[in-house]
Amino acid sequence: MPSQQNITESIRSYALNELGFDLLGFTPAERLTEEGVRLEEWLARGYHGSMKWLEQNPERRINPKEIVPSARSVIVVAKNYYTPHQHSDEPDHVKISRYAWGRDYHRVLPIKLKKLHQYIQSFAPDAENRWYVDAGPVMEKVWAVRAGLGWLGKHTNVITRTHGSWVFLGVMITSLKLDYTDPIPDFCGSCTRCIDACPTDAITQPYLVDANKCISYVTIEQHPKEQLDPEFAEKFDRWIFGCDICQDVCPWNKFQQPTDEPDFEPRPGRIDLTFDRILAMSDEEFEEQFRGSPIMRTKREGLRRNALSTYSTL
C-alpha cells in the first residue's frame, strides 16, 4: 500500500484533475464539540423553523465515528457553480437563486464522490468510505472550514479565497489516515454588507441566521400549503425560489469565475421566467420545465404560492 503522503497526494490529484473539483481539503475525523454546542443553541432558539430533521441524530451529526466507526479522516471537496448570467431587471420577471439555474447538484456531486470512492478502493480495498452531499447527518460547512477550504462568513455560507461563496460542498468520511490541511483565517473583518443588505433581517447577528426570516428558507422549505405573510413577502423583491442577496453583496465574490461544469449552466427558461408564466403553469408544464432541477423540491404548488405572494406586493 502506498505511503500516507502518497495516498493523500493521489487523492488530491484525482479529485482535482480527473473529477474536476475546484477545492479539496483533509481534516481529522474528530468529534465536533464546540460546533455541537452552537448547533444545540441554534436549535433551542427555534431558528431551524420546520426543518425538524435537524433535531434528529445529534450525535451522528457531530461525531463522524457514529457514521463510520473506523473513521480517521474527513475529505471535503468543493465545486464552483457560478455562471456569469444575470437576472432580468424587468418587473414582471421572477428571480431564482443561482444554484438552481442548472442541474440539481444533488445529482452531480454524488456521482463524482462515488468515483472518488472507487478510486480509493483501487489501491486501498479495505478502506471504509461514506460520502454525503447535503443529504445526511453531516455538517458540511463545519468540515469545509476545518479542512481549510474557506471560512464561515457572517451570512453563514462558506467563503473561499478563490471562488467566493459560489461553491457546492461534498464530504467523505474515510478510515484512511491522511495528511491534513490547515484551516485558514476568517477574512470577513469588520465588513457587514451581508447583514446590512438582508431585507428581512434574517442574519440576526454575525454568523447567526434565523431561518424563519430567511427568504431562501421560506420559499423552499416552508410547506406549500402554508401561506406567506404579505408584509413579509413584500420584502422579497421578486425572489420566488431561494435568495442570493447576501452573496451578491459579498466583496469576496469579486473573485467569482465561471464554472467549468456544463450541468450548472442555466437551463432554458430559468433566468427569464415571468410571474404570468409561473402562475399559468400546469403540473405537466412544471415537470417539463424543472425536471432535474432543485426547484422540483418546492413543487408547482409552492412555486406558485411564492410567485403569487410576491407578485401581489409589487
Q: Which three cell numbers stand for residue 235?
A: 420584502
Bridge-partner residues for 93, per DSSP?
274
Residues 6+ positions from 288 with CB-CB distance below 8 Å: none
Write down the catalytic residue from 89, 104, 134, 283.
134
Beta carbons within 10 angstroms of residue 278's beta carbon: 23
Helices (H) and strands (E) in the chain, counts: 12, 10
| CA pair distance 249, 157, nearest whole angstrom | 13
Our answer to whether residue 89 is catalytic in this structure is no
| CA pair distance 68, 120, nearest whole angstrom | 16
CB environment 250-264: b (16+ within 10 A), e (fewer): bebbeebeebebebb
- The answer to whether 292 touches 104, Cβ cutoff 8 Å, is yes
- The answer to whether 306 touches 241, Cβ cutoff 8 Å, is yes
3-state secondary structure 283-307: HHHHHHHHCCCHHHHHHHHHHHHHH
Annotated catalytic residues are: 134
